[in-house]
C-alpha cells in the first residue's frame, strides 16, 4: 500500500497551497509595446492599479486611446481547469472594448480537441461592445438568431462553463477599471434601462421649455474662453470684446415627448423615434453664436470632434444622425448649425441622471508649424426623474445565469437521480427481478450516455480535482464549480452516495464513458467475443496503476506543472464524451482502443487506469454501509457471485471489495433470486428458507 500512501502527499499540500499568493499578470511595458505599436504610445503604469494607459496624439497633445490591463490582476476567476484565464483587455474612454486577447489559459476543452481557435474567435466578439452593458453568453449562433448584439456573445459548443467564466472575467476586470478610471461601474448601473415615458406629453412653447430647463441654453464669452487658455502659448489671442459671445448652444434631449414633440413637431418626432430604435437616445445641439461647434470640415454621420457627452466621468459615444437639416424646429429655436446626436443603447446612458455637454474650443498658433491648443468647456444638463421609467434588473451573482439557462437539463438529471435512488435502495423491488431490471439498467445507461454525457456535457472528470488543487495554489476560489451546474449537481449526488454505498453509484450508473463501454459490450454480445481472464496476481498489480496515475496528475497540479494537463489525457472522457470523438487521430484512437479493450477485458480502463475512479475509491473508504447482502454459504462452498462478477470485486471468501465494486447489482439480483442463488436452490429442495446477511468488506 506504499503507492496509495504516496497518493495522499499532493492532497496534503492543498492547505499549504491555499495560503500562497495568487498568480499575477505577465505583461510589462515591452510586451505591451509589441501589442500596441506606434503611432500608439504606452504610458506609465498606474501606481494604484495594474492598468497601462495607451496614448495617441491628438491636436498637439496626447490623449488616452485605451486603458490596457490583464484580467488575472483584477478578476482572477478560476476556469474549468482551476486557474484563472488571463486576458489582455483594452478599454476605451467611452467604456467600449477596443481589444480583447487571450494571453494564457488552462481550459481543458481548448487545450486539445476544439483547439484554441474557437476561444480566440469567442473573445474577438467583445471588440466594439460596451462594458456599460451586461453581456451574457448565448448558445452558438445566438446573435445570428436575432439576439441583441450588444447584450449577447455567441457561445461555443461543448465549452459552456469555460466561456461563461471567461465572460465573467472580462466584465469583472473591466468594471474594476471603469470604476477607477472612467467613473462608472457600480453594480446597479450594469444593465440599467432608463426610457422616456412615451405617453407623457404637455404642449409647451420654446420659452416654457427654457424656463423648465427642459431645454438648456449655454453661452461662452470671449472672456470665459480667454480664462480657459490662460497660461498656454495662445493666451491673449481672442478676437472681439471680452463680453462678446463666442459660443451659444441650445441643448435638448429629444426622446421625452414634452421636449422632442414640441421642438420638432409630432410628425418629425415620430419619424425620429422610429429611426432611433429601442434603447437609443437623441440629443439636439443647435448653435446660435459665431463659433460653429461642428467645425468647418464636419462630415454628416460622423462623431463630432468638438462636441462630446459625458456622464459620471465617462465619455459617451454620440454620433451625428445625418438626417435632413432643413425645417429643424419650432418658433424661437435658433437657426444656426445643428446636429442630432445619437447615443446607442449599449452606451449605458442614463437620461434621467445629470450629464454634461462638453465643447472643445481650439486655438492655433503659427503659420508654418501650426500649433493647436484645445480646451474644453462644459454645460450641465439634467431632467426631472418623473419624465422617465427606470428598470434595474436584479441579475444576482454571475453564475446564476448558468443555472437559469440549464434549468431543463438540471430538472431531468435530478429526476433521473430521484428514480435511481429507490431502485438501488429497495433490493427486493426491481433489482430482484432480472427480467425487468436488465432492461431498466440498459435504458438508464443509455440516458447517462446520450443525455448526461453528450447533451448536458456533465461527464465528471479528474480535471475537477486538478482544478481544486490549482485553485488552492493560485486563486483560493472555488466559484468555478458553479459555472457548470449539471456537473456540480452530479458531484453533490456522487459525494453523498460515496458515504452510503461507495464509488459504484457513479462508476456503474452515472459515468457516460463507463456507460459507453457497457453498452458497447452489450451490443457486441452476438459476436460472442471471449473475455480474457486476468490472472489474480497481475489483476491486483494492475489495479494499483490508477492510483499512480492519480498521484502523478495531482502532484503535477500541486507543483503548477503543465504536465498535469498532459497526464489528465489518460482519461478519454474529453475525447469520447465532451468532444464526441471530434478530435485529432491519436486521441480518438486511444479512446476507441479502450472501448475495444473493454470487449476483451471488461471495463479494463475503469478497473486499471481511471484516475477519477481511483479518487472515488479512496473517498469510498468513508462508506458507512456494507450494503451488499451475503449468506454463510457465500465463498464456501458457493462461488457463483464471484464467478459472475465481471469486475472481480468479490473475493474467494465471498466478501465484497467495495473499492472495486461498480454497483451493477448482479450479485444482489442473484442472492434474491431463488432460481439462481445456489444456497436457496439447495435449501428449497431440503424444505428450508435462507436469509441473506451483510458481510464486512475485506
Burial 513-543, CB ≥16 within 10 A → b, else e: bbbbbbbebeeeeeeeeeeeebeeeeeeebb
CA 588, 593, 595 angle in degrees (round to 5)? 100
Residue 24 corresponds to which cell in the numbers above?
A: 499575477
Q: Minimal CA–CA distance to 643: which of 615, 603, 595, 678? A: 678
Q: Model pTM greater than 0.85?
A: no
Residues in the chain: 698
In degrees and rounded to multiples of 5, residue 674 shows phi and psi of: -65, -15
Q: Where are the alpha helices (DSSP H) in 60-217?
A: 71-74, 108-111, 117-124, 160-177, 206-211
Structural domain boundaries of the chain? 2-189, 194-391, 400-626, 627-698
Burial 405-442, CB ≥16 within 10 A → b, else e: bbeebbebbeebbeebeebbeebeebbbebeebeeebe
Spatial separation of the C-alpha atoms in residues 127 and 14, rounded to whole Å? 38
> Do 18 and 472 meet the contact criterion of CB atoms below 8 Å apart?
yes
> Do 225 and 361 meet the contact criterion of CB atoms below 8 Å apart?
yes
> Do 44 and 53 meet the contact criterion of CB atoms below 8 Å apart?
yes
Residue 280 buriedness (CB in 10 A; 0-12 / 13-18 / 19+): middle
Residue 629: the pLDDT is 86
Residue 102: the pLDDT is 92
Residue 19: the pLDDT is 43
Residue 155: the pLDDT is 82
Residue 306: the pLDDT is 83
Spatial separation of the C-alpha atoms in residues 418 and 444, rounded to whole Å? 12
Spatial separation of the C-alpha atoms in residues 177 and 168, rounded to whole Å? 14
> Do 114 and 156 meet the contact criterion of CB atoms below 8 Å apart?
yes
Helix (H, G, I), strand (E, B) or coil at 396: coil
Helix (H, G, I), strand (E, B) or coil at 609: coil
For the chain (698 residues), the mean pLDDT of every run of 10, in chain order, is: 45 45 69 87 84 77 85 81 84 88 85 81 90 75 54 79 85 81 55 83 92 92 84 76 88 94 90 85 89 78 80 75 66 83 77 89 73 82 91 65 84 95 89 90 96 91 86 70 88 93 93 95 90 90 94 88 85 88 87 94 94 92 86 86 89 89 90 85 73 50
**Pairing of the two strands 152-154 and 136-138:** parallel
Q: Where are the alpha helices (DSSP H) in 38-151?
A: 71-74, 108-111, 117-124
Residue 613: the pLDDT is 93
What is the 8-class DSSP label of residue 696?
Answer: -
> Do 343 and 317 meet the contact criterion of CB atoms below 8 Å apart?
yes
Instruction: Identify the bridge partners of residue 343 per DSSP, sorted by sequence position.
Output: 281, 318
What is the rounded (10 degree) CA torsion for 98, 104, 105, 110?
A: 80
Task: Write the CB contacts of 565 (distance below 8 Å, at least 6 apart in sequence).
Answer: 81, 106, 108, 111, 466
Burial 486-502, CB ≥16 within 10 A → b, else e: bbbbbbebbeebbeebb
Residue 187: the pLDDT is 40
> Do 349 and 311 meet the contact criterion of CB atoms below 8 Å apart?
yes
Task: Measure CA of the first residue to CA of the last residue in the chain; give whole Å.
Answer: 14
Residue 495 CB-half CA count within 13 A: 6
Q: Minimal CA–CA distance to 602: which of 550, 541, 524, 674? A: 524
Residue 691: the pLDDT is 57
Task: Write the CB contacts of 649 (distance below 8 Å, at least 6 apart in sequence).
Answer: 656, 657, 658, 660, 661, 662
Place of cell 491628438: 58
Q: Minimal CA–CA distance to 150: which of 128, 181, 122, 167? A: 128
Q: Minimal CA–CA distance to 151: which of 347, 318, 299? A: 347
Residue 538 corresponds to which cell in the numbers above?
A: 497481475
Residue 10: the pLDDT is 44
Q: Cα Rg for the chain, rounded, in angstroms?
A: 35
**Pairing of the two strands 355-365 and 307-311:** antiparallel
CA 521, 524, 530 angle in degrees (round to 5)? 80
- Peptide bond connecting 637 to the previous residue in cis, omega within 30 degrees of 0: yes
Helix (H, G, I), strand (E, B) or coil at 309: strand
Residue 420: the pLDDT is 94
Q: Can you spell out the DSSP letters for 511-546?
A: -HHHHHHHHHHHHTGGGTPPPP---HHHHHHHHTHH
Amino acid at each position: 500500500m506504499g503507492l496509495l500512501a504516496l497518493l495522499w502527499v499532493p492532497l496534503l499540500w492543498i492547505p499549504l497551497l491555499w495560503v500562497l499568493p495568487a498568480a499575477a499578470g505577465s505583461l510589462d511595458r515591452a510586451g505591451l509595446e509589441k501589442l500596441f505599436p506606434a503611432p500608439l504610445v504606452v504610458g506609465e503604469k498606474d501606481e494604484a492599479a495594474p492598468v497601462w494607459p495607451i496614448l495617441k496624439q491628438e491636436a498637439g497633445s496626447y490623449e488616452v486611446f485605451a486603458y490596457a490591463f490583464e484580467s488575472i490582476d483584477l478578476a482572477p476567476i478560476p476556469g474549468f481547469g482551476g486557474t484563472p484565464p488571463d486576458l489582455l483587455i483594452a478599454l476605451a474612454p467611452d467604456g467600449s472594448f477596443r481589444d480583447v486577447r487571450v494571453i494564457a489559459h488552462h481550459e481543458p476543452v481548448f487545450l486539445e480537441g476544439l483547439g484554441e481557435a474557437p476561444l480566440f474567435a469567442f473573445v474577438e466578439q467583445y471588440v466594439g461592445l460596451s462594458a456599460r452593458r451586461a453581456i451574457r453568453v448565448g448558445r452558438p449562433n445566438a446573435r445570428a438568431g436575432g439576439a441583441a448584439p450588444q447584450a449577447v456573445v455567441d457561445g461555443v459548443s461543448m465549452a459552456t462553463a469555460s466561456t461563461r467564466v471567461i465572460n465573467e472575467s472580462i466584465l469583472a476586470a473591466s468594471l474594476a477599471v471603469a470604476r477607477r478610471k472612467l467613473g462608472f461601474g457600480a453594480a446597479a448601473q450594469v444593465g440599467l434601462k432608463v426610457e422616456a415615458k412615451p405617453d407623457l406629453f404637455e404642449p409647451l412653447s420654446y420659452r416654457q421649455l427654457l424656463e423648465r430647463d427642459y431645454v438648456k441654453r449655454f453661452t461662452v464669452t470671449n472672456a470665459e474662453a480667454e480664462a480657459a487658455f490662460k497660461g498656454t502659448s495662445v493666451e491673449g489671442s481672442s478676437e472681439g470684446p471680452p463680453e462678446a459671445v463666442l459660443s451659444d448652444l441650445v441643448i435638448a434631449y429629444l426622446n421625452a415627448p414634452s421636449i422632442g414633440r414640441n421642438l420638432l413637431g409630432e410628425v418629425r418626432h415620430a419619424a425620429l423615434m422610429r429611426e432611433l430604435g429601442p434603447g437609443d437616445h437623441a440629443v439636439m445641439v443647435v448653435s446660435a453664436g459665431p463659433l460653429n461647434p461642428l467645425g468647418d470640415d464636419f462630415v454628416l454621420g460622423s462623431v463630432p470632434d468638438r462636441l462630446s457627452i459625458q456622464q459620471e466621468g465617462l465619455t459617451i459615444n454620440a454620433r451625428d444622425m445625418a438626417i435632413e437639416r432643413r425645417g429643424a424646429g419650432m418658433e424661437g429655436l435658433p437657426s444656426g448649425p445643428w446636429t442630432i446626436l445619437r447615443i446607442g443603447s449599449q452606451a449605458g446612458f442614463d437620461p434621467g441622471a445629470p450629464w454634461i455637454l462638453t465643447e472643445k474650443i481650439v486655438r492655433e498658433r503659427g503659420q508654418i508649424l501650426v500649433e493647436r491648443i484645445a480646451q474644453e468647456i462644459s454645460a450641465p444638463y439634467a431632467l426631472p426623474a418623473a419624465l422617465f421609467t427606470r428598470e434595474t434588473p436584479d441579475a444576482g451573482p454571475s453564475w446564476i445565469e448558468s443555472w437559469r439557462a440549464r434549468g431543463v437539463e438540471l430538472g431531468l438529471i435530478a429526476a433521473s437521480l430521484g428514480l435511481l435512488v429507490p431502485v438501488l435502495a429497495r433490493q427486493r423491488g426491481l433489482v430482484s427481478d432480472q427480467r425487468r431490471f436488465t432492461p431498466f439498467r440498459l435504458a438508464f445507461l443509455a440516458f447517462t450516455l446520450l443525455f448526461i454525457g453528450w447533451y448536458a456535457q456533465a461527464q465528471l472528470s479528474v480535471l475537477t480535482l486538478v482544478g481544486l488543487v490549482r485553485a488552492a495554489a493560485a486563486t483560493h476560489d472555488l466559484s468555478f464549480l458553479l459555472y457548470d451546474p449539471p456537473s456540480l449537481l452530479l458531484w453533490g449526488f456522487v459525494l453523498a452516495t460515496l458515504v452510503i454505498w461507495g464509488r459504484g453509484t457513479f462508476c456503474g450508473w452515472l459515468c457516460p464513458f463507463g456507460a459507453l463501454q457497457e453498452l458497447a459490450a452489450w451490443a457486441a454480445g452476438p459476436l460472442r467475443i471471449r473475455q480474457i481472464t486476468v490472472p489474480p496476481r497481475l489483476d491486483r498489480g494492475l489495479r494499483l496503476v490508477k492510483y499512480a496515475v492519480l498521484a502523478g496528475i495531482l502532484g503535477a497540479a500541486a507543483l503548477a506543472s503543465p504536465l498535469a494537463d498532459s497526464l489528465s489525457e489518460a482519461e478519454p472522457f474529453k475525447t469520447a464524451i465532451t468532444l464526441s470523438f471530434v478530435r485529432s487521430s491519436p486521441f480518438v484512437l486511444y479512446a476507441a482502443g479502450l472501448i475495444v479493450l473493454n470487449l476483451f477485458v471488461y471495463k479494463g480502463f475503469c478497473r486499471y487506469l481511471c484516475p477519477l475512479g481511483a479518487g472515488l475509491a479512496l473517498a469510498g473508504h468513508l462508506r458507512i454501509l456494507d450494503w451488499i447482502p451475503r449468506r454463510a454459504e457465500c465463498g464456501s462452498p458457493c462461488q457463483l457471485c464471484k464467478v459472475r462478477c465481471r469486475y472481480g470485486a468479490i473475493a474467494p471468501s465471498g466478501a465484497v471489495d467495495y473499492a472495486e465494486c461498480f454497483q451493477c447489482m448482479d450479485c444482489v439480483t442473484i442472492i434474491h433470486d431463488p432460481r439462481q442463488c445456489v444456497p436457496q436452490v439447495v435449501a428449497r429442495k431440503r424444505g428450508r428458507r435462507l436469509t441473506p446477511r451483510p458481510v464486512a468488506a475485506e
